[in-house]
Structure 1
Amino acid sequence: MVDGAWWPYSHDAAAELPGLIAAVDQRLQRTTLLVGVQRDAWQSIPHRIPARGRQVRIGWFRHADPRVITFIFAAGEPVVLLVIPPGTTAGPAEAELTAQDTAGLSIDDILTVERLPPDPAPPLRGTAADSLACWEDEGGSVTDQEAPSSTRRPSAPA
């Protein structure tokens, strides 16, 4: 079960997570200690991200559901957010972000109800040849990600 939804612009964890952590901390008035992500669903996953005078650990898990991201706090229950695939068109994504009747539904049920597409794996997770073909230099890589649309995407849980 999920507690909300998030629609990132890309699969780049280093670029996407700082804003999400700040928004979740502010909205829930909690202090995030750890963010859990599925390793193969994200690119550029740092070990830690600075947030309001502290370092938030980022946990990379191979056996986690790639469709969710989990927040662990200093106090209280964890929060699980459904990750709306970055390439999703505005209509279905916004419907999920504003959905009111998803309480108690599984991730598969939510995706079916909202008709969201399954999220393909990011382009850099593949064979060694595929990775080398996309590699730009020692500091980064070239991907096939589209530029973000002009639609404003909320970065806090729904």
Structure 2
Amino acid sequence: MTLTLLSQRAPLSAASSAIPLADSALRLSLHPVPNRRAMVDGAWWPYSRNAAAELPGLIAAVDRLLDRVTLRVSVHGDTWQSLPRRIPARGRQIRISWSRHTDPRVITLRFATGEPVILLIIPSGAAAGAAEATLKLTAQDTAGLMPDDILTLANLPSQPAARPTRRAAIAGSSAN
């Protein structure tokens, strides 16, 4: 397998919360050979934090590139907006599981066969240069590097901005 880097080279607009167009380039890198010593198998740079809009394209691309069938996707619940329980993909429903106990910087795709694929999530609002550096870095051997290490090497913040919870939104509105 060869290096896979699918990425848009042009800088994005400042509206990082915009829902991607159907023909938007998928910004994904996968290491050519899965390495169980590495914490991540690649990286993904979504256009927004809208899981319902972003996940179908990711699932389709990973299925095609790895010639596998994704059955389940696991994410951190506070990292995403519009987080459905299931996503339609090529005639089937992919189960989306989430927890607040998983690493908010990664997404895990599980298949019918083989090891899961763990992707580092590059924040959607990241600067193009730093995001491109992260995509390239994760396509190389990252054994021994934690997600924080990879993000630091690419000059990106190591902690994602958490989605405001309903309780925080209510508390903020009652303080005014």
Which category describes the TM-score, using the shorter chain as reference length? 0.7 to 0.9
Q: Scaled by the length of structure 1, what TM-score is found?
A: 0.78
Does residue 122 in structure 1 map to residue 163 in structure 2? yes
What do residues 13-58 of structure 1 show as CA deviations (whole Å, max 9, x unaligned)?
0010000000000011000000001001111111111111111000
CA RMSD of aligned residues (A): 1.9
Residue 129 (structure 1) shift: 1.5
Identity of aligned residues (%): 65
Gaps of 5+ in 1: 134-158
* Alignment match, 2:115: 77
1:26 maps to a residue whose letter is R
Runs of 4+ with deviation above 3 angstroms: 123-126, 130-133
Q: Is the 8 A contact 1:124 1:131 kept in 2?
A: no
Separation in 2 of the partners of 1:26 and 1:75?
Answer: 15
**How many angstroms apart in 1 are the aligned matches of 2:167 and 2:155?**
27
Structure 1 residues 130 and 44: CA distance shift in structure 2, 3 A? farther
Deviation at 1:125, TM superposition (A): 5.6
Which structure's relative contact order is higher, taking Cα pairs within 8 Å and 6+ residues apart?
1
Mark the CA change 1:131 to 1:79 in structure 2 (over 3 Å): closer, same or farther: farther
Deviation of the 1:101 alpha carbon: 4.2
Report the TM-score when normalising by structure 2.
0.70
- Following superposition of structure 1 onto structure 2, how do residues 61-72 of structure 1 map, counting pairs within 5 Å? 61-72=99-110
